[in-house]
Amino acid sequence: MISSTLQQKFSEEISLFDEKIHAFEAGELDRNTFKGISGGFGSYAQRSNGYMLRLRLPGGQISKEKLRFFSDSIQNHHVNLLKITTCQTIQMHNLSADSTVSIMRDAMNFGIITRGGGGDNPRNVMASPLSGVEKGETFDVLPYVQAAGEYLLSRIPGLHMPRKLKVGFSNTPSNETHATFRDLGFIARNDGSFSVYCAGGLGPNPKLGVWITDHVCPNEISFYISAMIRLFTTYGNYESRAKSRTRYLQDTLGAEEIRKQFLAFVEQAKAEEEAWPIPSLQPITKKGNGTISGKRIIPQKQDGLYAVSYHPIGGCLPPQTLIQLYQTIKDMPQTEIRISPDGTLYTINLTASEVPAVLQITEDGAQSLFETSVSCIGSSICQHGLRNSQGLLNSCIMRVRQEAFPDGVLPRIHISGCPSSCGSHQAASIGLVGHSKKIDGVMLSAFKVFINGCEQNPGSRLGTECGILLESVIPEFFVALGHLVEKSNLSFYQWFPDHQDELKQLILEYAEKTE
């Protein structure tokens, strides 16, 4: 655990944020100056009115106590928009200055620290969302995620990095956390150790991570995190923010030198630091009381226990649903919430008799694979957003519903409103990123199309750009794709490997359309 001294320091720093946010409100600070301060506290001013607050949730884990905090905060501060992020956090939106500060303070009492949620800081540490309960997992990575999160928080006060640092842990080949192309990634191995990758990332000039080593002792993960910090602060670019992320080390150092320097920094860390303690696994002692099956019901590796999935459209979580979810599970033993990088929320450790109540509360979510598509918050709220990614996703879903395609005919897509890739479009089979296109001398809203990305390990790859479509034609593009795949009597993922040229041709066809 982080020390009480550090917790007190974080708590005292909120007073500084309180002062600065009200100075910004009064016009005494410009937007860029305020952003440089507020990001370190996990908050940003929105494009027009209000503020966003990002809450660190290591591994996407929300205990019932933390869920109660969310429920109380939503009601006390009239929160009307929650967004699940691709880094397994929850953002509260449209907050007043006073509510932002108050929620930040209240969160500390529930072990939720917003410090470092933005800016040039270590971000929320990620884990496979069903770690510990997933059938076929290599091993439960959650204790190591908790330790990594605590270690990174302990480093924040004295840390000055060129940019942010994202760390992820993966427990299965599905690699939902993109551990093979994060700033630092740990992949669980069958022998109980980790493989380590570093200096990867999405966004401008994306790169897969550099393999560093295998057979890393899990109890020594803090040495490898320390080594990544040492590598980044020693060789990272402090002069140009455009080239300051860890992936640019591949351009300046090259893979072999990164590996050599990283391993040397590991040895330095071992000589200078104590290994950060790993918390004990909390055994799941709950017993099942029957069997149940159906859509959105996932059998856990614990006999008789189940997880229920719920994907709010675009990862925009209705506040009232979270309140109802807390009221429903608060008396269910060992039940908790996990959130996924794709915007899905899981309620885990349910018995067969407990499942129906959770299903009923969450019935407003995605009804098909296509509707589980991923989107960033978009330009209507994000001050750096280029396009309204949420609006596009909703338009596509509404249009596709009219066709009543069989589930699986269209894939899960990923949409980013700008090149920052907050919708992880470069890791998707089909990804879209906000752009512009000139038609008859007029710049119109458009999206670049990327295809053939994949997050799985082995086999991780980045998507390639295949065309630029006007925003107005994209819903019809997906309808045309649905009909194309439906004729084959295959799902999209069965159809795609042998029909990539057909998909490319369809993209080119719609790239020529202006309405």
DSSP symbols for 176-242: TT-GGGSSEEEEE-TTS-EEEEES-B-SSS-BPPEEEEEEE-GGGHHHHHHHHHHHHHHHS-SS-GG
Strand ranges in 14-149 using DSSP code E only, listed in sequence order: 43-45, 51-55, 61-62, 82-84, 90-95, 126-127
Structure tokens that stand for 228 in this block: 């990544």
Whether residues 357 and 376 share a domain: the answer is no
Do the domain assignments include residue 88?
yes
- Name the band, by pLDDT with cuts 50, 70 and 90, for residue 282: confident
480 and 375 in one domain?
yes
User: What is the per-residue pLDDT for 165?
Assistant: 98
CA–CA gap between residue 72 and residue 377 (Å, rounded): 24
- The answer to whether residue 281 scores a pLDDT higher than 90 is no
Looking at residue 131, its pLDDT comes to 98
Q: What confidence tens digit (pLDDT) does each residue in 133-176 have?
A: 999 999 999 999 999 999 999 999 999 999 999 999 999 999 99
Q: Is the pLDDT of residue 197 over 90?
A: yes
Q: Which of 328, 361, 394 is the last residue of a domain?
A: 361
Considering the domain architecture, whether residues 210 and 306 belong to the same structural domain is answered as no
Alpha helices in 348-491 (DSSP H): 355-361, 389-401, 474-486
* % of the chain residues with pLDDT over 70: 100
φ, ψ (nearest 5 deg) of residue 268: -60, -45
Q: What is the mean pLDDT of the chain?
A: 97
> Binning pLDDT at 50, 70 and 90, where does residue 371 land?
very high
Confidence (pLDDT) at 7: 87
Mean pLDDT over residues 201-228, rounded?
98
pLDDT of 515 = 80
Is position 165 within any domain? Answer: yes
Task: Please tell me whether residues 345 and 426 are part of one structural domain.
Answer: no
Over residues 454-475, the mean pLDDT reads: 96
CA gap 317, 238 in Å, rounded: 37
The CATH number assigned to the domain holding 403 equals: 3.30.413.10
Q: Provide mean pLDDT across the span 441-461.
A: 96
State how beta strands 90-95 and 51-55 pair.
Answer: antiparallel
Q: What is the pLDDT of residue 231?
A: 98
Choose the final residue of a domain: 361, 389, 413. 361
Three-state DSSP state, 395: helix
Mean pLDDT value of segment 1-30: 92
Radius of gyration of the chain (CA): 22
Q: Which long-range contacts (CB under 8 A, 24 or more apart) does 441-445 make?
A: 444/470, 444/471, 444/472, 445/387, 445/388, 445/470, 445/471, 445/472
Same domain, yes or no: 156 and 196? yes
Residue matched to tokens 């760390």: 167
* Statement to judge: residues 167 and 70 lie in one domain: no
Query: 92, exposed or middle or buried, with CB in 10 Å at 0-12, 13-18, 19+?
Result: buried
- 399 and 455 share a domain? yes
Q: State whether 437 and 504 are in the same domain.
A: yes
What is the reported pLDDT for 48? 87
Let me know whether 131 and 223 are in one domain: yes
Task: CATH number of the domain at 11, please.
Answer: 3.90.480.20
pLDDT grade, residue 416 (50/70/90)? very high
Share of residues in the chain with pLDDT > 90 (%): 97
Average pLDDT over residues 220-226: 98
**Containing structural domain, residue 326:** 297-361
Report, as an integer, the average pLDDT of 372-400: 96
Dig out the tokens for 380 from the structure.
């209507």
Report how far residue 24's alpha carbon sits from residue 492's, in angstroms, rounded to the nearest whole number. 49
Between CA 450 and CA 426 the distance in angstroms is 7
Give yes or no: residues 144 and 194 share one domain.
Answer: yes
Domain membership flag for residue 196: yes
474 and 374 share a domain?
yes
* pLDDT score of 410 more than 90: yes
Map residue 434 onto helix, strand or coil: strand
Expressed in angstroms, the distance from the first to the final Cα of the chain is 57
Residues 299-321 have pLDDT tens digits of 999 999 999 999 999 999 999 99
Is residue 281, in this structure, part of any structural domain at all? no
Q: What is the CATH number of the domain that holds 329?
A: 3.30.1370
Say yes or no to pLDDT of 262 above 70.
yes
Q: Taking residues 492-512, what's their average pLDDT?
A: 97
pLDDT, tens only, 67-109: 999 999 999 999 999 999 999 999 999 999 999 999 999 999 9
Residues 303 and 431 in one domain: no
Distances (CA, A) of 461 to 175, 425, 492: 12, 12, 18
Closest CA to 206 of 497, 493, 460: 460
- Please compute, for residue 207, the number of CA atoms within 13 A of its CA located in the half-sphere on the CB side: 20
Torsion angle (degrees, nearest 10) of CA 185, 187, 188, 189 = -140
- Is 118 within a domain? no
- Cα–Cα distance, 322 to 372 (Å, whole number): 18
Residue 490 counted as domain residue: yes
Question: Which of the listed residues 305, 335, 361 is the one where a domain comes to its end?
Answer: 361
What local confidence, expressed as pLDDT, does residue 384 receive?
A: 85
Q: Look at residue 365 and give its three-state secondary structure.
A: coil
Residue 422 has pLDDT above 80, yes or no: yes
Number of domains present in the structure of the chain: 4
Nearest-angstrom CA–CA distance, 222 and 138:
21
Asked if residue 180 belongs to a domain, the reply is yes
Residue 280: inside a domain:
no
Place 1 in a pLDDT band, splitting at 50, 70 and 90.
low
